[in-house]
């Protein structure tokens, strides 16, 4: 501590044995470096790592491990998700999809935490939903929300999402669904 003498009760301020013990402990156990390290690795979300990001994930309500569907199936545009493919590009649906668990890297999980934190406080407007997409898919390509004006909207992606990104989009709960609004997903272009 910087000035340990201020923490001693006045009735013990003149006790030489107690003051010597406290001074020795203060030299041996200076918590300043530990507090700085704790702040950088756990509390500051910009620099948090590993366990610190796991704590932030619990706070905002997301998990590092995602279950992804690793298969696409033949489907049609009205399926409103990102798993449908055209003929000669995917397999027929056989009743169950092969899924696996994937653990996100620290940077990927940090983006997911930012997006979920923004989703937790969003007002559901197109502007705020676009800000969430911008935070989640920075550097990936264009992504935006189309409001159709009839209580339906579409999350549009101008890039082909990976299996992990498709899982984040559809099953992580990060992209909000405003109350009473039908949500669909579309890939409009290949970046």
pLDDT greater at residue 88 or residue 124: 124
Query: Are both 78 and 149 inside the same structural domain?
Result: yes
Assigned domain for 175 exists: yes
Mean predicted confidence (pLDDT) in 97-113: 80
- Residue 75 in domain: yes
pLDDT for 76 beyond 80:
no
| Mean pLDDT to the nearest integer, 75-88 | 52
For residue 75, the model assigns a pLDDT of 55
Q: Where are the alpha helices (DSSP H) in the chain?
A: 16-28, 32-38, 51-60, 106-120, 126-136, 163-171
* Residues 85 and 99 placed together within one structural domain of the fold: yes
Half-sphere exposure of 45 (CA within 13 A, CB side): 16
pLDDT at residue 191, rounded to an integer: 47
* Domain match, 143 and 126 both: yes
| Domain of residue 48, residue span | 16-64
Q: Considering the domain boundaries, does residue 6 fall inside one?
A: no
What pairs with residue 112 in β-bridges?
none
| Predicted TM-score (pTM) above 0.85 | no
Residues 52, 38 share a domain: yes
Do the domain assignments include residue 21? yes
Share of the chain above pLDDT 70, in %: 81
Length of the chain in residues, anyone? Answer: 191
Same domain, 36 and 91: no
* Coil, helix or strand at residue 145: strand
What pLDDT, on the 0 to 100 scale, is given for residue 27? Answer: 79
User: Are 178 and 99 contained in the same domain?
Assistant: yes
Span 59-74, average pLDDT: 75
C-alpha–C-alpha distance, residues 3 and 13, integer Å: 13
Assigned domain for 84 exists: yes
Lowest mean pLDDT: which of 1-5, 51-55, 141-145, 179-183?
1-5
Q: Report pLDDT digits (tens) over 148-169.
A: 989 999 999 988 887 778 878 8
Token pair, residue 102, equals 């994937």
Q: Tell me the percentage of the chain whose pLDDT exceeds 90.
A: 21
pLDDT of residue 167: 77
Regarding whether 31 and 97 lie in a shared domain, the answer is no
Beta bridge partners of 66: 102
Tell me if 60 is assigned to some domain.
Answer: yes
Cα–Cα separations (whole angstroms), residue 65 to 57, 105, 188: 11, 10, 28
The total number of structural domains in the chain stands at 2
Based on the fold, state whether residues 180 and 88 are members of the same structural domain. yes
Do residue 42 and residue 126 come from a single domain?
no
Assess if residue 7 is contained within a domain: no
pLDDT at 49: 93
On average, the pLDDT of the chain sits at 80
26 located within any domain: yes
């Amino acid at each position: 501590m910087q000035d340990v003498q201020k923490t001693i009760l006045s009735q013990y301020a003149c006790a030489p044995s107690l003051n010597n013990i406290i001074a020795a402990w203060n030299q041996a156990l200076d918590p300043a470096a530990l507090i700085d390290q704790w702040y950088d690795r756990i509390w500051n979300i910009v620099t948090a790592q590993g366990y610190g990001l796991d704590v932030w994930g619990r706070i905002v309500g997301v998990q590092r491990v995602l279950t992804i569907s690793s298969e696409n199936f033949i489907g049609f545009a009205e399926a409103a998700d990102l798993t449908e493919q055209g003929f000669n590009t995917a397999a027929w649906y056989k009743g169950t999809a092969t899924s696996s668990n994937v653990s996100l890297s620290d940077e990927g999980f940090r983006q997911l935490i930012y997006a979920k934190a923004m989703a937790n406080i969003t007002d559901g407007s197109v502007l705020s939903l676009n800000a969430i997409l911008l935070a989640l898919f920075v550097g990936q390509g264009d992504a935006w929300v189309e409001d159709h004006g009839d209580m339906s909207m579409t999350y549009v992606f101008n890039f082909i999402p990976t299996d992990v990104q498709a899982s984040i989009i559809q099953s992580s709960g990060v992209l909000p669904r405003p109350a009473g609004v039908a949500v669909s997903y579309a890939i409009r272009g290949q970046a």
